[in-house]
Amino acid sequence: MTPTKSLTFLLMDAPYEQARTATAFRVIDAALRSGFGVRVFAYEGAVSLPVTQQKPHANAIHGRSLEEEAHPTPHVWVSSLMQLASERGVPFDWVNCGLCVDERGATEVVAGVRRGSPGDFWKMASETDNTLVIPTR
Amino acid sequence: MPSYLLIESRDPFESRGFGQRCELAAALATDGAAVTLFLVENGVLAARSAAAVRELDRLGRSGVSVLADEFALRERGIAVAELAGHVKAARLDELVKQLGTGAKAIWN
């Protein structure tokens, strides 16, 4: 049996700030749908992506209700990627940088997110077929 | 033959770095590498023929493959018919495919 190919992604941007976050999630989604295992190392502000306290909101300016606004929350995206990986039978691993978590108090995260260190990123990059760093500016 | 995947997210009209990355892509291609410049986010603004981005024209002559994220194009109301001749719309699957074949990737 051919071992699953896998890719590592390093994310750095905090949620709700940059288009890069949405693009990164789209790339990871495409990788999972193409059958790749995925490993994500979240660094700096990106450790807040899986924080479960994010809440959707209505849009009073445009008169839209909570349901109509359907405001996206990145922690749901993270959970969705985990679910997709499970359905596809490919490995998915998300590691939050521990120091970055402590700095931001980003401790309440979706189930399955692990705490780690930049050393984990080195291991991921060493063990997977390729790595894409999506840097902040 | 080494292969490189340069992912460009910046608007060419607000970032001097866009041109520098195009120079890098052309230099790598001249050295014999297979090079793809993948435009995402505001980087796709360069893909319009009306934008007349000279750096992209040079890449076309250098043998660099220039792809533009079809989702980013749609978000910005850019039709495929508006693209410069050497630019092709592509899904992110193509980006993933190149990562899977070991292309050295740089995101700007």
pLDDT of residue A44: 97
The reported pTM is 0.95
d(CA B90, CA B36): 12
Q: What is the pLDDT of residues A9-20, one digit of tens each?
A: 999 999 999 999
pLDDT number for residue B53: 86
Confidence of residue A3 (pLDDT cuts 50, 70, 90): low
Nearest by CB to B100, from A20, A130, A135: name it. Answer: A130
Rounded mean pLDDT, A42-70: 95
Give contacts of B 25-64 with A, CB under 8 A.
Answer: 40-42
Domains delineated in chain A? 6-134 (3.40.1260.10)
What are the CA-CA distances from residue A75 to residues A47, A48, B13 (Å)? 10, 8, 33
CATH of the domain at B64: 3.40.1260.10
Task: Note down the domain range covering B98.
Answer: 3-107
Chain B partners within 8 Å of A5 (Cβ) = 100
Of A5, A26, A134, the CB nearest to B92: A26
Contact residues on chain B for A27, CB-CB shorter than 8 A: 92, 95-96
Number of domains in chain B: 1
Q: Say yes or no: ipTM exceeds 0.90.
A: yes
